[in-house]
Amino acid sequence: MGVALLAAGPRLISLLTRPFIPKAIFEPSSVGSIGRVSDFGVGMHTQFLQERRICVVRNSERLYVIYARCTHQGCTPDWVAQERKFKCPCHESGFCMGSTFDGDGMNCEGPAPRPLDRAHIALDPSGQVIVDISRLW
């Protein structure tokens, strides 16, 4: 019997054991630390764009976090540093370009109906910047 199961392959074993394995979706937490304010010089910081879909912007007055989800249909725009724009790779055709957003997240071109959202941030007692992407504004 055991040999027969092994011979049937991993697909059959998977089908037989599936009812006993809980169905769970493992999503990353919507809240996380990005470091201290002093870790960010003036400018756009994209090191979290691929993993967490956020960009940190610091100017002379403040620090804020842009949530990089295109407001057209939700693709992740790329930051194009040479043009200082976010460019959405989706919905580009011969006549229309994908949406673009400036460094503040304001929509400039394309079908996006509004600016990129910003994520809620707070400082924890140790001085870490905590970003919560479940609280967008």
Interface residues with ligand FES (CB under 6 A) are 70, 72-75, 88, 90-91, 98-99, 110-112
CB of 62 to ligand FES, least distance (A): 27
CB of 112 to ligand FES, least distance (A): 6
For 19-56, the DSSP string reads GGS--------SEEEEEEGGG--SEEE-TTHHHHSEEE
Which candidate, 86, 81, 130, 82, places its Cα nearest to that of 104?
Answer: 86
Which is closer to ligand FES, CB of 98 or CB of 105?
98
The CA distance from 63 to 126, in Å, is 17
CB of 76 to ligand FES, least distance (A): 9
Which is closer to ligand FES, CB of 59 or CB of 73?
73
The CA distance from 8 to 20, in Å, is 19
Which is closer to ligand FES, CB of 96 or CB of 130?
96
